[in-house]
Amino acid sequence: MSYNADKKGYYGEFGGAFIPEMLYPNTEELRQNYLRIMDEPSFKKEFDQLLKDYVGRPTPLYFAERLSKKYNTKIYLKREDLCHTGAHKVNNTIGQILMAKKLGKHRIIAETGAGQHGVATATVCALMGIECVVYMGEIDIARQAPNVARMKMLGAEVRPALSGSKTLKDATNEAIRDWINNPVDTHYIIGSVVGPHPYPDMVARFQSVISEEIKWQLREKEGVENPDYVVACVGGGSNAAGAYYHYLDVPEVKIIAVEAAGKGVHSGESAATSALGQMGIIHGSKTLLMQTQDGQITEPYSISAGLDYPGVGPMHAHLFTSGRAEFISITDDEAMNAGLMLTKLEGIIPAIESSHAFAILDHKKFEPNDLIVINLSGRGDKDLDTYIDYFNL
């Protein structure tokens, strides 16, 4: 069995491209060209150069000694928190802005929820001097003022989505409407391994640099390429896809995916898609999705904005149903405490998304000789107010 996308963008029974007819020319142009462009030496050279000099790659693979001692096993952290802009998302936006240039596009649009993907997109648009419009729900604009300010400072126009619940899904609808109206000059940068084919596959390939580095870094440090476990949090699933990518077809590497259980899987306030989701279509892709009996998408909840998504990308839906990955749900409380623990033990304040991945250490028993790589997807600066409120600091 393969865990990568087939030619039509299917991961098992998940994926594909379920889009309105009027969007077909846009995705088709991308589909026909993305693999060829990513394979061009000039593309690879510029991508690698920017990852090195601008993003700061390779990010370290750090042996967490005190954390390892506490859990009596060997734990390495992949330090995506040290990427420029503070998380892995920029790996993808760098790749897509270069893709847009190769396709002759001179205008970028994006959707954003909490603003992290909007900032990563506005950053690469500033870098390239390309016009940037970010759609964001009106409610999110009010909730996420610092990221709105960052995007504006970077030269992006932030357009409020005023319909529906005025959050991420409405911003996505506005972005799609824009793309339909501007098929020739505009590229739509999607922020995770979601959306219609070829986005999940393209974004996974851009993020796959994470596991490409883990392989040689682990060989350098431990003399082996393969850890026993690779662990990552899953919102849409892009940091996880990057961390798993080169291990997908290596069965001896066990894959752990960590979802947000919010206030509890069955509390009605959660984002635990694998536990609660059923097959459905969201953002042009067939995948697991939290929905009501008559198919209305359920409003997700998590204390971390980046995991607050009602679905997962099709790769992860397939990893779950095939049993290739073990899915663990972590509550807000467990994640917050794990974030504080990492801070105290290692001097690293993680993004609350990443804190979820560390909380599994209290759920699962590992052997002293196990090699565990945890993807530290981002840093916690953006979450300071949430930590302060939660712990009364």
Ligand X SMILES: *Cc1c(COP(=O)(O)O)cnc(C)c1O
Catalytic residues: 89, 111, 377
**100-119 binders of ligand X (CB under 6 A):** 116
Beta-sheet pairing, 285-289 with 278-282:
antiparallel
Contact residue for ligand X among 248, 351, 359, 374 (CB under 6 A): 351
Coil, strand, or helix at residue 160? Answer: strand
Residue among 231 and 233 whose Cβ is closer to ligand X: 233
Using rule CB under 6 A, residue 359 touches ligand X = no
Residue among 240 and 359 whose Cβ is closer to ligand X: 240
User: Count of residues binding ligand X (CB under 6 A)?
Assistant: 19
Cβ atoms within 10 Å, residue 72 = 11
**362-381 binders of ligand X (CB under 6 A):** 377-378
In the complex, what is the shortest distance from the CB of residue 103 to ligand X, in angstroms, rounded to a whole number? 23
Residue among 27 and 192 whose Cβ is closer to ligand X: 192
Residue among 208 and 239 whose Cβ is closer to ligand X: 239
Q: Torsion angle of alpha carbons 258, 146, 131, 171, nearest 10°? A: 60
Using rule CB under 6 A, residue 236 touches ligand X = yes
In the complex, what is the shortest distance from the CB of residue 116 to ligand X, in angstroms, rounded to a whole number? 4
| Distance in angstroms (rounded) separating the CA atoms of residues 139 and 158 | 13
Using rule CB under 6 A, residue 233 touches ligand X = yes
Nearest residue to 115 via CA among 127, 125, 123, 106: 123
3-state secondary structure 114-163: CCHHHHHHHHHHHHHCCEEEEEEEHHHHHHCHHHHHHHHHCCCEEEEECC
| Distance in angstroms (rounded) separating the CA atoms of residues 229 and 227 | 5
Coil, strand, or helix at residue 350? Answer: strand
The dihedral sign for the CA sequence 109, 115, 121, 126: positive
Using rule CB under 6 A, residue 237 touches ligand X = yes
| Distance in angstroms (rounded) separating the CA atoms of residues 393 and 390 | 8
| Distance in angstroms (rounded) separating the CA atoms of residues 233 and 261 | 12
**154-213 binders of ligand X (CB under 6 A):** 192
**243-282 binders of ligand X (CB under 6 A):** none
Contact residue for ligand X among 168, 354, 355, 374 (CB under 6 A): 354
Which residue's Cβ has the minimum distance to ligand X? 378
- Output the six-digit token pair for 204: 């996974």
In the complex, what is the shortest distance from the CB of residue 300 to ligand X, in angstroms, rounded to a whole number? 12
Q: Which helix or strand (DSSP H or E) is residue 179 part of?
A: helix 168-181
Strands of the sheet with 131-137, listed across from one edge: 157-161, 131-137, 107-112, 186-188
Contact residue for ligand X among 115, 277, 300, 306 (CB under 6 A): 306
In the complex, what is the shortest distance from the CB of residue 243 to ligand X, in angstroms, rounded to a whole number? 9
| Distance in angstroms (rounded) separating the CA atoms of residues 336 and 73 | 22
Q: Which stretch binds ligand X (CB under 6 A): 71-79, 162-170, 292-300, 351-359?
A: 351-359
* Interface mask toward ligand X for 279-298; x: CB under 6 A: --------------------
In the complex, what is the shortest distance from the CB of residue 205 to ligand X, in angstroms, rounded to a whole number? 14
Residue among 74 and 243 whose Cβ is closer to ligand X: 243
Cβ atoms within 10 Å, residue 126 = 15
Contact residue for ligand X among 91, 112, 186, 239 (CB under 6 A): 239
Q: Are 186 and 155 in contact (CB under 8 A)?
A: no
Residues that bind ligand X (CB under 6 A): 87, 89, 116, 192, 233-240, 306-307, 351, 353-354, 377-378
